Amino acid sequence: MAHWVENHPNLTNALLTGVGGLFTLFFLISAQWDGITWWCSIACWLPLFFRRVAPTATACVHGALVVVSLLAFNVAPIALCLWSVPWVVYTAAMRSPRRGRRGVFLAALLGCAVLGVRTNHWFLFLTEGYTPTEWLLTGAVFGIISAAFVTVAYLVGDLARGRLQRREQLEDRARRLEIEREQEVRMAAQDERARIAREMHDVVAHSLSVVIAQADGARYAAAADPGVAVETLGTIADTARGSLTEMRKLLGVLRTDDETATAPVPQLGQIDQLVGSVRRAGLPVEYRVAGEPALSAGAQLALYRVVQEALTNVLKHAWQAASVRIVVEHGPRGSWAEITNDGVGGTTRAPRGGYGLQGLRERVSLYGGTLTAGPHPDRSDVFVVRVSLPGEGS
């Protein structure tokens, strides 16, 4: 209901004004007031429909009509003012600028004074006679009570305005943080693409080196043994196709002008060395591998980087983990790996959504694979990273 009220402010104001009008109508019928009171109440009630559109103007017009009714017709629309005056003062304090809301508050206090002066004799007519002191005291009490209602309405509206401003500030901050996060994600993706380009340089360079070496060998062997040349040309063709596949996957990768020197590309066999370095750091790691990989060089590099990033996250965020388990399975249709650790709960530092895994998801997707990372569905203290990559012939 609160959400609907926020989304339909004008309709809500119309409904509340109508309900207040029904309350006033019931009060007027019960009191059997004359026609002048009816018309003055209607005139003071109509501007309330514009309370949300122009709060300051509505409060001024409403107050002016109430004062005119008092001074010109000796009519006080009490049934209406009981709820309308605090309402418009609250709205002005909540939604009007500083000058406007203070002006409305002072005008409302002045109206309370006029109300006390003009209506005090209504409460003294039951006595046979009253002194000027009694007349003054009665008017002061009535005016003070009315001013107290107005002051409370103003303070509540001012408090609501402060809460509204804080909420808007928090919403604006949340929007800016979301924009900054999206920018950081894009920058992280660009950095990852640049790193992919540098590492894949070694993959393509290796393939081209093989092609050149085989071509030179075939050229010299062709004169003595043409059969060797034919076999060598087949090897050249296979290697060139693999290089072409890698280049197609790199077609959309963004590059930078950073002339970072390339390093030897890690292979899946180096996971043992990676696990050994983590064990030496004091973290127990269980590593199991089955089958022979049927992945391209780039896909093997992606799988190695996933394992490397997962172990790095364990050292950074779950350094109190009791155990880490790595399972890698290879098959003709592809490879699958799972890295789990039990260091999420307690006082350990669980992963908080960094950008390393975000970049790896993009890298794995280049080879048609998938990467998931998150808590175990059955145990909240276990963090699981799963990756699957299709085989080279898939």
What total of structural domains would you count in the chain? 2
State pLDDT tens for residues 12-23: 888 888 888 888
* 230 within domain boundaries: no
- Among 154, 175, 196, give the residue marking a domain's end: 175
Q: Which domain, by its residues, includes 364?
A: 268-390
Closest CA to 135 of 123, 126, 145: 123
pLDDT of residue 123: 60
* 51 within domain boundaries: yes
CB 271, CB 289: distance < 8 Å: yes
- Please tell me whether residues 275 and 165 are part of one structural domain: no
pLDDT of residue 329: 93
* 89 within domain boundaries: yes
The dihedral formed by the CA atoms of 22, 27, 29 and 32, expressed in degrees to the nearest 10:
-150
Sorted by sequence, the CB contacts under 8 Å of residue 23 that are 6+ apart come out as 79, 83
- Please tell me whether residues 10 and 133 are part of one structural domain: yes
Q: Are strands 370-375 and 383-390 parallel, antiparallel or unpaired?
A: antiparallel
* 247 within domain boundaries: no
- Please tell me whether residues 160 and 289 are part of one structural domain: no
Alpha-carbon span 197 to 364, nearest angstrom: 14
pLDDT of residue 326: 93
Which residue has tokens 């990273």?
Answer: 385
* 291 within domain boundaries: yes
Q: What are phi and psi of 378, to 5 degrees?
A: -105, -20
CATH number of the domain bearing residue 303: 3.30.565.10
* 48 within domain boundaries: yes
- Please tell me whether residues 117 and 12 are part of one structural domain: yes
- Please tell me whether residues 19 and 134 are part of one structural domain: yes
Low-confidence ranges of the chain (pLDDT < 70): 31-33, 119-130, 197-214, 216-217, 221, 223, 228-229, 235, 239, 242-265, 280-282, 316-321, 343-356, 393-394
- Among 175, 204, 239, give the residue marking a domain's end: 175
State pLDDT tens for residues 179-230: 888 888 778 777 777 777 666 665 666 566 666 666 766 777 676 777 766 7
Q: Are strands 285-290 and 324-331 parallel, antiparallel or unpaired?
A: parallel
pLDDT of residue 38: 83
* 189 within domain boundaries: no
Closest CA to 48 of 7, 15, 75: 15
User: Read out DSSP for 336-377?
Assistant: EEEEEES-SSTTS------SHHHHHHHHHHHTT-EEEEEE-S
- Please tell me whether residues 23 and 167 are part of one structural domain: yes
* 113 within domain boundaries: yes
Secondary element (H or E) of residue 53: none
- Among 111, 145, 175, give the residue marking a domain's end: 175
